[in-house]
Every structure is written in C-alpha cells, then in structure tokens.
C-alpha cells in the first residue's frame, strides 16, 4: 500500500497535485496555530535608535521615519503578527512628512511629545500623549511638527493583511487638500450627534482624533462606580460613532485600566494584539499553546505583542493603563473570532 501511494504521489507531482490527506491535520488543526512569538520592546532600549535615525535621515527623505517592531519569528516580513504591522515613528521640530494615501488603514497612538500634527483630508489633528488618531484607507494624510521637542508615536497598520490579498498600494502628491479647521469632524460626529444630511461614505470612523483626556476620564469614572472585570480590569473599545462598530474595518483599538493590585485571570483569543503602555507598571504572563510560558515586566511607553491563542494574564501592583490594537473586526466580520476566559 505504501509503495502504491508513493508511486501515486510521484506520478501526479508534475501536474502540481498533492494529496489532502497528507496535510489535512496541518491545514485544519485542533486549535489555532501561529508561528508568531510573544515579544516585548522596552522603550528605553528603542528611543536611542529613533534619535539616531533622526540624525541619519530626514522625514522628507524617509517619507515616514519609522523603526518597525518585527515579530522575532517573522524577521524580514515587516510584521508584528501575520496580519498586523507596528512601528515607532519620529518627527523632529520643523519637519514635514509629505502627503500620501494608501489602501492600508492606519492608526497612530501618541507616545511622547506634543505639538506635532497629522492632517487627514485637510483637517489637522494636533498630537498629545495618549491620543488615538486614525487615517482611513485611501485618505490623503501627512504629518508635520511645530513642537520644540521630538514627537514619537506608535503606527499600526494592516499591511500584512493587504499583502495577503495582493491589494496594497499607495499614491503620493505634492498638492495638499483644502484646509479645514481642527475639530470639525469631532463637532460633527463626536458628541452622539451627526449632520442631518450626512453624505459621508466609507466604513471608517468620521472622527479622526480621540483625545486621551476624554478616554482616560471614562476609565476613571468606571473605576469609581462599576465592578472590575476579572480578566480585563476596565476595558473600552474605540468606536465609529456613525455605526457603533470599529474605527476602521480591519483594525480594532482598545484602552484599558488595570487598577492598583490587579491580579487578572487568564484569557486567550484568536486575534493577536499589540499593546502600548500608557501609564504605570505591571506584568503580563503569556503561555503558548504548547505550554511555554514567558513573563514580561512592563513600564510606560513599552510595547509588547500577544500572539493568537496564547494564554495571557495581567498583574499590576501600582495600576496601569494599556492601549492595544488588533485585527478583531476582521475575525468578527468573518465569524471566526473565538475567545476563552479561564
């Protein structure tokens, strides 16, 4: 029987055929499997390299001066998980990064410095630490700085996802969109209201900037007045106010507060997630599906990734605030999202 099979495989190989039964268990495993590894990037280690990059190349030359956070198991692929890209971007006083647009959706989470800005379709959003800013796909956007200090933010994009679909491309332009006063999009859609005749199209949020002070106050009120979740602490998702869904169709974003003394229970989910530490200190314990456990101690401005279907739990003695993003909207749209809270 074995010889018959081997002869079959050999004879049909020139026709680019392969037997499903030889790979079925790998194609449809008993639980989610990812090549990605958990990883932690300490900000104190990364920042000197960002400053050196600022000396080595200008924002105009680089188009976007970014150091990519690559997953240790995906080196050379510009990916932090198999579907997500993450990087830290630096802009120096007086610099301008030219306008462009692309099919990839992008988010920014401000890590350090105030006074730089993003423009989205001509509307400026000034950056402050902890602000969540998005640039929907195919929207003209650029960056500039009127600050007196370096400004650094986390970039999150769906680049690997669009690469899978062979759908990623960009356009550049020397022209700029007609300017709009800052805050117009928030006035139209950010206060549980919307224009009576809203002609806006697209699946992304009409609000480009979500200020940290508003989001942080929401978490503080929840901590004062509601029970703490045993897995997440106090966790909120950023939404598209026009739909109640995610800010962008491929990227979900979240902000959570771990109260002082938090000792969370373990959870796992199919969407891999990238975390940025906003405030405080703590520890994340990550266990892979094969039982290998890693513990990372984190502090302000550190970043880490929890891959798909890895058990994770948080601890924080002094309390902490975490921003995170993932590809959960895609999982939910395809009805493949799974989560276990142990």
Dump pLDDT digits (tens) for 313-329.
999 999 999 999 999 99
Q: Is the pLDDT of residue 34 over 70?
A: yes
* pLDDT single digits (tens) 244-271: 999 999 999 999 999 999 999 999 999 9
The average confidence (pLDDT) of the chain is 94
Question: Which token pair is 340?
Answer: 């276990």
* Residue 322 and residue 278 in contact, taking contact as beta carbons nearer than 8 Å: yes
Tens of pLDDT, residues 73-130: 999 999 999 999 999 999 999 998 888 899 999 999 999 999 999 999 889 999 999 9
* CB-based contact 258:317 (threshold 8 Å): no
SS3 for 127? coil
User: Could you tell me if 134 and 205 are in contact, meaning their C-beta atoms sit under 8 angstroms apart?
Assistant: yes
pLDDT-based confidence at residue 177 (cuts at 50, 70, 90): low
Burial of 114 (0-12, 13-18, 19+ CB in 10 A): middle
Q: How far apart, in whole angstroms, are the C-alpha atoms of residue 88 and residue 325?
A: 14
pLDDT at 55 over 70: yes
Q: Is the pLDDT score of 179 beyond 80?
A: no
pTM check: above 0.85: yes
pLDDT at 21 over 70: yes
Confidence class for position 175, pLDDT limits 50, 70, 90: low
pLDDT(291) > 80: yes
Of 51-60, 94-103, 105-114, 194-203, minimum mean pLDDT range: 194-203
CATH class of domain segment(s) 30-341: mainly beta
Domain chopping of the chain, boundaries: 30-341
Residue 170: band (very low, low, confident or very high) from pLDDT cuts 50, 70, 90: confident
Banded model confidence at residue 1, pLDDT cuts 50, 70, 90: low
pLDDT of residue 261: 98
Q: What is the pLDDT of residue 132?
A: 98
Residue 163 has pLDDT above 70, yes or no: yes
- Paired sense of beta strands 116-120 and 141-145, if any: antiparallel
Q: Which residues sit opposite 258 in a β-bridge? A: 320
- Are 40 and 302 in contact by the 8 Å Cβ rule? The answer is yes
């Amino acid at each position: 029987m074995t010889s018959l099979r081997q002869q079959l495989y050999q004879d049909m190989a020139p026709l680019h055929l392969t037997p499903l039964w030889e790979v079925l268990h790998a194609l449809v495993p008993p639980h989610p499997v990812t090549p990605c590894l958990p990883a932690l990037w300490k900000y104190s280690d990364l920042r000197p390299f960002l400053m050196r990059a600022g000396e080595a190349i200008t924002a105009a030359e680089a188009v976007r001066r970014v150091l990519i956070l690559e997953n240790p198991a995906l080196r050379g692929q510009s990916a932090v998980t198999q579907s997500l890209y993450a990087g830290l971007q630096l802009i120096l006083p007086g610099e301008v990064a030219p306008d462009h647009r692309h099919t990839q959706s992008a988010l920014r989470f401000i890590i350090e410095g105030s006074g730089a800005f993003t423009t989205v379709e001509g509307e400026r959003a000034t950056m402050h630490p902890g602000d969540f800013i998005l640039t929907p796909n195919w929207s003209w956007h650029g960056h500039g700085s009127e600050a007196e200090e370096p400004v650094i933010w986390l970039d999150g994009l769906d680049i690997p996802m669009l690469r899978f679909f062979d759908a990623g491309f960009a356009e550049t332009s020397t022209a700029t969109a007609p300017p709009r006063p800052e805050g117009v999009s928030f006035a139209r859609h950010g206060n549980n209201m919307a224009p009576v005749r809203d002609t806006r199209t697209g699946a992304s949020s009409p609000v480009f900037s979500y200020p940290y002070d508003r989001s942080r106050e929401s978490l503080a009120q929840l901590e004062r007045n509601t029970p703490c979740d045993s897995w997440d602490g106090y966790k909120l998702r950023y939404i598209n106010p026009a739909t109640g869904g995610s800010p962008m169709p491929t990227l979900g974003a979240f902000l959570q507060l771990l109260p002082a003394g938090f000792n969370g229970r373990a959870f796992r989910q199919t969407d891999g997630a990238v975390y940025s530490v906003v405030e405080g200190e703590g520890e994340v314990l990550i266990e892979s599906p094969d039982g290998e456990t890693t513990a990372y101690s984190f502090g302000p401005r550190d970043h880490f990734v929890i891959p798909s279907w890895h058990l994770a739990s948080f601890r924080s003695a002094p309390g902490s605030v975490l921003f995170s993003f993932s590809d959960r909207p895609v999982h939910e749209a395809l009805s493949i999202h799974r989560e276990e809270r142990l």
